[in-house]
Amino acid sequence: MVQKNNLIILLITTLVFLAFMIWVLPAVSETTREITGTTLSPDTSFFYTAETLYQIASEYGPEGRSYYIRSRFTFDVIWPIVYGAFLISAISMLFKKPIRGKDYHFLNLLPVFGIIFDFLENIGASFVMFRYPEMTIIANWTPYFTLIKWIFIYASFACLLIGLLLKLAPNFSRQ
């Protein structure tokens, strides 16, 4: 029964993740571009500087900065939960059994750290947008929150890929 429930959870989180990727993210991206007048965003950069963050805030203008803050506390609260739930459930399924005698189920914590640093990034960047043009110390930390977020997210997807390859490898060796 637990196995069936886990599979249902994985199916639901995968469908929601795919729906976000296909419909929600492009719509939010387009709206953001229309309101801010640019495709620049600290969220999508792997690394940037505090100066770049202030440059983005300047380019956004007052309406764009206001929109950015609203979207970080609406859409960008939900999105990390969506990708996190997908990654946690997928990694949990792939690494639930020991591999060569070693237990790797703890790898499902990687997306949790990605979510935490995504939220820290959102708080930091929103604070900079709110205080602009005033300088704030959080502007120096926010790029690192973003970098660490991406490291955990990329590591999560790498685990997902490795887990899939490990699950498929025995099938290829039998043929």
At residue 173, does pLDDT exceed 90? no
Give the CA count within 13 Å in the CB-facing half-sphere of 38: 15
Output 147 or 172, whichever has higher pLDDT: 147
pLDDT per residue as tens digits for the range 110-150: 999 999 999 999 999 999 999 999 999 999 999 999 999 99
In the chain, what are the domain boundaries?
2-165
Mean pLDDT of all residues in the chain?
A: 94
Give me the sign of the Cα torsion angle 75, 81, 84, 90. Answer: negative
pLDDT of residue 2: 64
State the DSSP code for 133: T
Predicted local distance difference test score (pLDDT) of residue 170: 72
Q: What is the pLDDT of residue 175?
A: 54
The reported pTM is 0.93
Q: Is the peptide bond before 133 cis (omega within 30 degrees of 0)?
A: yes
